[in-house]
Amino acid sequence: MSTLLRKPFGTHGQVHDITPSSAGWRYVGFSLYRLRKGEQVADVTGAREVILVMVEGKAAFRAAGTDWGVLGDRMSVFEKTAPHCLYVPNDQSWQAEAETDCTIAVCSAPGRGGHEARRIGPDGITLTQRGTGTNTRYINNIAMENEDYADSLLVTEVFTPAGHWSSYPSHRHDEDDYPRITYLEETYYHRLDPADGFGIQRVYTDDGSLDETMAVSDGDVVLVPRGHHPCGAPYGFGMYYLNVMAGPLRKWRFEMAPPVKWIAERDA
């Protein structure tokens, strides 16, 4: 199995724990908790900032010395409603108690103390269309660069209809050469509808030094350390993914793969 494809540990508790060390890179961390009603989880941020995303269900949160109340209202990601999220800066603690069975994503990157704890969404997050034809997908931007919510983190949700492509035309963001391109590590947390389906993700470089194509199942995470990284949702299976990106500069600038650049130019 590819080292870029990370299967969940199980179906309950902490089912993903991806750190910069375990991923073999410098910036992005991603963990995921699947809790039953009444269960609790707590952690400290240390030198990192986090965005807690209520993927599904409801939980009561305390973080950075504040009671944030109950966050979350969608029971399935495929309701496509805006998520409830919480930003927690570095050197703070947070805890959550599940009000229902729930799934909580913990997105992390280096923090510099430049932002206060705050709620993100659902207000201000609008599902928007990107692409045309069978390249159409729908985006919930949680914390991209035009939202000054974080020091390092870029976080977004993407819904790809069955039979469509996503993160396509193929693009890369693996060089620190702003404004032409930025270096951003990235994780994809995948969900599928129905859950017994599969999706496809390819991660490859122009020179072929990295070229891996993976069948992703519901709950898998794919690491993108470099290269292009398109996804495909087979007919009959909708795809959701939660993206986490971070690098030395909180800007998303990319270059298209030369063989598909004409598609982006045509559809612009």
Q: What are the phi and psi torsion angles at 78 (to 5°)? A: -80, 5
In a domain, 127, yes or no: yes
**What CATH number is associated with residue 193?**
2.60.120.10
In a domain, 1, yes or no: no
The DSSP code for 190 is: E
Listing DSSP states for 164-180 in one string gives -EES-S-EE-EEEETTT
Report whether 59 contacts 99 (CB < 8 A). yes
In a domain, 14, yes or no: yes
**Residue 232 is encoded by which pair of tokens?**
């495909």
76: helix, strand or coil = coil
In a domain, 51, yes or no: yes
Is the pTM higher than 0.85? The answer reads yes
Task: Kindly report the length of the chain.
Answer: 268
Report whether 6 contacts 26 (CB < 8 A). no
| Tens-place pLDDT, residues 119-149 | 999 999 999 999 999 999 999 999 999 989 8
List per-residue pLDDT tens for the chain, 268 residues long: 789 999 999 999 999 999 999 999 999 999 999 999 999 999 999 999 999 999 999 999 999 999 999 999 999 999 999 999 999 999 999 999 999 999 999 999 999 998 999 999 999 999 999 999 999 999 999 999 998 989 999 999 999 999 999 999 999 999 999 999 999 999 999 999 999 999 999 999 999 999 999 999 999 999 999 999 999 999 999 999 999 999 999 999 999 999 998 988 887 6
In a domain, 146, yes or no: yes
**Residue 41 is encoded by which pair of tokens?**
């989880």
Report whether 11 contacts 1 (CB < 8 A). no
Radius of gyration of the chain (CA): 18
Distance, CA of 204 to CA of 118 (rounded, Å): 37
Amino acid, single-letter form, for residue 75: M
The DSSP code for 68 is: E
Strand partners, 245: 154, 186
Place of tokens 């292009």: 228
The DSSP code for 84 is: P
Expressed as residue numbers, the domain containing 44 is 7-267
| Tens-place pLDDT, residues 77-130 | 999 999 999 999 999 999 999 999 999 999 999 999 989 999 999 999 999 999
Element (H, E) at 96: strand 93-98
Label residue 119 exposed, middle or buried (CB < 10 Å: 0-12, 13-18, 19+).
middle
Provide the number of structural domains found in the chain: 1
In a domain, 101, yes or no: yes
In a domain, 2, yes or no: no
Of 171, 184, 160, 167, give the one whose Cα is nearest residue 252.
184
186 CB neighbour count, 10 Å cutoff: 25
